[in-house]
Amino acid sequence: MAIAPTSSRGGYIERPRPSGLADVIDVILDKGLVIDAFVRVSLIGIEILTIDARIVIASVDTYLRFAAAANRLDIGSSEGAEGLPDLMESVTSGGAASKTKGVLEGVKEKITGGDEDSGDKDSGDTEKEPARRSSRSSSRSSGSGSRSSGGSRSSGGNRSSKS
């Protein structure tokens, strides 16, 4: 999007980055005033959202995952003794880390995918934009600001293109 992610790791953090839905999905589902006894609407798909927001940490699955990840690590002293080829080691351990991430993020994408641009549409779910990013500046700029999506807009740049 128009906003460069706040890079950690070496970069200096100057200000909070504007939130995306993925950043706040768990607080939206979990926090806020609860008005007792008046929630009567059924929530379709809430289970998926909730599961995503609460990936359980203390479970056998997690233990096995930690163990598998630890076993794949290529640790100096044991490397030769184990006799596993270096190449295979690095491929599998790298693959494992990113695969896990991929699964977690994949779920999140289902929920938040493309929200930055399609949120104000009437039916974001039925109407697919094949190339959201590039179509944004041209096709959706009915107003005057068609050149404003360049990449230097600060807060609000990821909201609707009207505003």
For the chain, the maximum distance between any two Cα atoms, rounded to a whole number of angstroms, is: 67
* CB nearer other proteins, residue 120 or residue 152: 120
- HSE-CB of 101 using CA atoms within 13 angstroms: 6
Minimum gap (Å) between residue 24 Cβ and other proteins:
6
* CB nearer other proteins, residue 28 or residue 152: 28
Residues 157, 143: Cα–Cα separation, whole Å: 15
Residues 22, 30: Cα–Cα separation, whole Å: 14
DSSP label of 5? P
Q: What is the DSSP string of 111-154?
A: HHTTHHHHTTSTTTTT---TTHHHHHHHHT--SS-TTTTSS---
Minimum gap (Å) between residue 33 Cβ and other proteins:
5
Minimum gap (Å) between residue 138 Cβ and other proteins:
22
Minimum gap (Å) between residue 90 Cβ and other proteins:
10
* CB nearer other proteins, residue 17 or residue 132: 17
Helices 21-30 and 86-112, axial angle in degrees (round to 10): 60
* CB nearer other proteins, residue 44 or residue 131: 44
DSSP label of 16? P
Minimum gap (Å) between residue 27 Cβ and other proteins:
4
* CB nearer other proteins, residue 43 or residue 88: 43
